[in-house]
């Protein structure tokens, strides 16, 4: 489901749980949807298990179910499939996989969290689709299910009526995106602030903060272009390539960026690439040439020039400044602020 307009009535969210499910995969999204109800949303959340009985999570916590999977009424607006650490056992459970397939048939939108993507893949729901999962398991997902187009750096991926997200807390990001689809950016922003999380965290290759600052475009083809840049900053995003991707002229593409985004195509692409490089420098140890290649700058020198021009520091100096989380900062004025 990808409404792009405010919902007009209550929306049903069914969270499917099973023995060994990861607790935060369940509770994180539930918290987003129930908090949204405090700011104008209208979600009805229900927890379903195979037979309607409680399950024990991977943390040893008991989770009660509201109903059995076969008692779920259609249409279900959102079906959420969480993951669990024992994903190899999960995908060999034919009954579990059949239940996921059965619930998907009743749902407008099916979304997975973390290794829940393996259940969707085992049920054949990701065949030919792009998908995300926990970075640690991306290679296993790709090797076990070759028909799935795994996006290893994405926080979440939307492909038609199916959404998949990265590890654990990324289920919150995915849920916030759904809230924005249903009730608009302001409601989603209010939920993010209330939960003290990023509305669109500056991490991964699909959710950079420059994207959250970009006005919501009314042009679907332009939104697809913007999403493509954010999902893979290192790809070919020349003005000609973007215009061809959208099926419009170069002049029309330039005009759309000016009218809808408030900047030029080249400047927008550079901003996304710069933030992608910042994330890689904050979180990894890749050498500068590799960071430059992955983010579309091409060379370490081009990366250095962009950093100096926009941030006033070299990539090396930037990386050094992010070797601490700031948790032990004693000066309150210098502590990081909540989003």
**pLDDT for 201:** 53
**pLDDT for 145:** 96
- Dihedral sign for Cα atoms in the order 300, 208, 279, 293: negative
Do 268 and 152 share a structural domain?
Answer: no
Overall average pLDDT of the 109-136 stretch: 95
Residue 165 lies in a domain: yes
The CA distances from residue 320 to 191, 214, 317, in Å, are 33, 29, 5
What domain count does the chain have?
2
Using an 8 Å Cβ cutoff, are 167 and 22 in contact? no
Inform me whether the pLDDT recorded for 39 exceeds 80: yes
Using an 8 Å Cβ cutoff, are 164 and 131 in contact? yes
pLDDT per position as a tens digit, 237-252: 999 999 998 999 999 9
**pLDDT for 193:** 84
Q: Indicate the pLDDT class of residue 200, thresholds 50, 70 and 90.
A: low
Vertex 188 angle, CA 116 and 129, to 5°? 35
Residue 84 lies in a domain: yes
Last residue of a domain, one of 171, 192, 213: 192
User: Which pair of tokens denotes residue 116?
Assistant: 């829940």
Which of the listed ranges 132-136, 190-194, 252-256 does the model predict with the highest average pLDDT? 252-256
d(CA 164, CA 173): 11
Kindly compute the dihedral angle of the four CA atoms of residues 261, 266, 272, 273, in this order, to the nearest 10 degrees. 180
**pLDDT for 332:** 32
Mode of pairing for the β-strands spanning 149-150 and 156-159? unpaired
Overall average pLDDT of the 294-301 stretch: 94
Inform me whether the pLDDT recorded for 156 exceeds 80: yes
Overall average pLDDT of the 53-57 stretch: 97
Do 241 and 92 share a structural domain?
Answer: no
Question: Residue 118 is part of a domain; what is its CATH number?
Answer: 3.40.50.880
Hunting for tokens 């309607």 — which residue is that?
Answer: 52
Do 88 and 16 share a structural domain?
Answer: yes
More confident residue, 279 or 128: 128
Residue 313 lies in a domain: yes
Q: Is 219 exposed, middle or buried (0-12, 13-18, 19+ CB in 10 A)?
A: middle
Do 16 and 126 share a structural domain?
Answer: yes
Residue 137 CA neighbour count, 13 Å, CB half: 23
The CA distances from residue 260 to 23, 223, 273, in Å, are 40, 10, 20
d(CA 160, CA 134): 20
More confident residue, 102 or 215: 102
Do 74 and 32 share a structural domain?
Answer: yes
**pLDDT for 336:** 30
Vertex 14 angle, CA 172 and 183, to 5°? 55
Inform me whether the pLDDT recorded for 326 exceeds 80: no
To the nearest whole percent, how much of the chain has pLDDT over 70?
86
**pLDDT for 168:** 73
Do 287 and 215 share a structural domain?
Answer: yes
Overall average pLDDT of the 216-227 stretch: 80
Residue 164 lies in a domain: yes
Question: Residue 253 is part of a domain; what is its CATH number?
Answer: 1.10.10.60
**pLDDT for 46:** 97
Do 83 and 62 share a structural domain?
Answer: yes
d(CA 30, CA 32): 5
Inform me whether the pLDDT recorded for 204 exceeds 90: no
Which range among 98-102, 182-186, 206-210 shows the weakest confidence by mean pLDDT? 206-210
**Radius of gyration for the alpha carbons in the chain, expressed in angstroms and rounded:** 21
**pLDDT for 227:** 83
Overall average pLDDT of the 108-126 stretch: 97
Expressed as residue numbers, the domain containing 215 is 202-321
Instruction: Give the DSSP per-residue string, 114-135.
Output: TTHHHHHHHTTTTTT-EE---G
Inform me whether the pLDDT recorded for 215 exceeds 80: no
d(CA 41, CA 187): 7
Do 310 and 208 share a structural domain?
Answer: yes
Last residue of a domain, one of 157, 192, 227: 192
Q: Is 275 exposed, middle or buried (0-12, 13-18, 19+ CB in 10 A)?
A: buried
């Amino acid at each position: 489901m990808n409404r792009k307009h405010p919902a007009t009535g209550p929306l049903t969210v069914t969270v499917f749980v099973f023995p060994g499910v990861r607790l935060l995969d369940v509770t994180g999204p539930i918290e987003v949807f129930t908090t949204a109800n405090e700011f104008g949303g209208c979600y009805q959340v229900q927890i379903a298990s195979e037979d309607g009985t409680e399950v024990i999570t991977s943390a040893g916590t008991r989770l009660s179910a509201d109903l059995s999977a076969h008692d779920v009424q259609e249409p279900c607006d959102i079906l959420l499939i969480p993951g669990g650490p024992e994903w190899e056992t999960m995908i060999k459970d034919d009954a579990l996989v059949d239940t996921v397939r059965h619930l998907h048939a009743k749902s407008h939108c099916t979304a997975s969290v973390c290794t829940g993507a393996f259940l969707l893949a085992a049920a054949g729901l990701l065949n030919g689709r792009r998908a995300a999962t926990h970075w640690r398991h991306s290679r296993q997902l790709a090797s076990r299910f070759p028909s799935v187009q795994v996006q290893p750096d994405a926080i979440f991926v939307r492909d038609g009526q199916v959404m998949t997200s990265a590890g654990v807390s990324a289920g919150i990001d995915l849920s916030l995106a759904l809230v924005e689809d249903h009730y608009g950016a302001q409601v989603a922003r209010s939920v993010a602030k209330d939960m003290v999380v990023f509305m669109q965290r500056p991490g991964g290759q699909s959710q950079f903060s420059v994207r959250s600052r970009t006005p919501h475009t009314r042009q679907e083809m332009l939104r697809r272009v913007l999403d493509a840049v954010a999902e893979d900053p290192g790809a070919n995003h020349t003005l000609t390539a973007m215009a061809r991707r959208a099926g419009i002229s170069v002049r029309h593409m330039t005009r759309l960026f000016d009218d809808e985004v408030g900047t030029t195509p080249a400047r927008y692409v550079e901003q996304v690439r710069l933030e992608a490089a910042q994330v890689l420098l904050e979180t990894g140890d890749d050498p500068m040439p590799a960071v430059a290649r992955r983010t579309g700058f091409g060379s370490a020198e081009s990366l250095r020039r962009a950093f100096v021009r926009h941030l006033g520091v070299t990539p090396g100096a930037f990386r050094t400044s992010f070797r601490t989380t700031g948790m032990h900062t004693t000066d309150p004025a210098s502590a990081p602020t909540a989003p």
